[in-house]
Amino acid sequence: MRIPVNEPLLGRDELRLVGDCIRSNWISSQGRYLKEFEEGFAAYCGVAHGISVTSGTAALHLALLTLGIGPGDEVLLPTLTMAASAFAVSYCGATPVFLDSEAETWNIDPEAAEGYLRRQAKSGKKKVKALLVVHLYGHPADMDRLREIADRYSLFLVEDAAEAHGAEYKGRRCGGLGDLGCFSFYANKIITTGEGGMVVTDNPRLADKARRLKDLAHSEHQRFLHTDLGYNYRMTNLQAALGLAQLRKIDRHIRIKRRLARAYAQELKGIPGLRLPTEKPWAFSVYWMYALTVEEPFGLSRDRLMAALKERGVETRSFFVPMHQQPVYAQGGLPCRRFGPYPVADEASQKGLYLPSGLTLTRAQIRYVAEQLRLLSPIHGRKEGK
Ligand X SMILES: *Cc1c(COP(=O)(O)O)cnc(C)c1O
140 binds ligand X (CB under 6 A): no
Please choose, out of 78-86, 110-118, 213-221, 253-261, the segment that lies near ligand X by the rule CB under 6 A: 78-86
Q: Letter for the amino acid at 189?
A: K
CB of residue 150 to ligand X, shortest distance in Å: 19
CB of residue 265 to ligand X, shortest distance in Å: 23
Measured from the CB atom, is 90 or 184 closer to ligand X? 184
CB of residue 6 to ligand X, shortest distance in Å: 11
283 binds ligand X (CB under 6 A): no
355 binds ligand X (CB under 6 A): no
Chosen residue from 184, 236, 293, 326 binding ligand X by CB under 6 A: 184
- Which residues 6+ apart lie within 8 Å of 236 measured at CB? 27, 28, 29
From the list 95, 97, 121, 86, the residue with the least C-alpha distance to 338 is 97
Q: Which residue is nearest to ligand X (CB)?
A: 56
CB of residue 385 to ligand X, shortest distance in Å: 34
186 binds ligand X (CB under 6 A): yes
160 binds ligand X (CB under 6 A): yes
Binding pattern for the stretch 188-227 against ligand X, x by CB under 6 A and - elsewhere: ---------x------------------------------
176 binds ligand X (CB under 6 A): no
316 binds ligand X (CB under 6 A): no
Binding pattern for the stretch 38-57 against ligand X, x by CB under 6 A and - elsewhere: -----------------xxx
Tell me, rounded to whole angstroms, the distance of Cα 330 from its chain centroid: 23
d(CA 262, CA 196): 29
Instruction: Give the DSSP letter string of 160-222.
Output: E-TT-TT-EETTEETTSSSSEEEEE-BTTSSS--BS-EEEEES-HHHHHHHHHHTBTTB-SSS
CB of residue 82 to ligand X, shortest distance in Å: 4
82 binds ligand X (CB under 6 A): yes
Question: b/e string for 2-32 if b means 16 or more Cβ within 10 A?
Answer: ebebbebebeeebeebbebbeeeebeebebe
348 binds ligand X (CB under 6 A): no
d(CA 162, CA 184): 5
Helix 250-268 and helix 363-376: axis angle, to 10°? Answer: 30
Measured from the CB atom, is 166 or 299 closer to ligand X? 166
CB 69 within 8 A of CB 130: yes
CB 295 within 8 A of CB 306: no
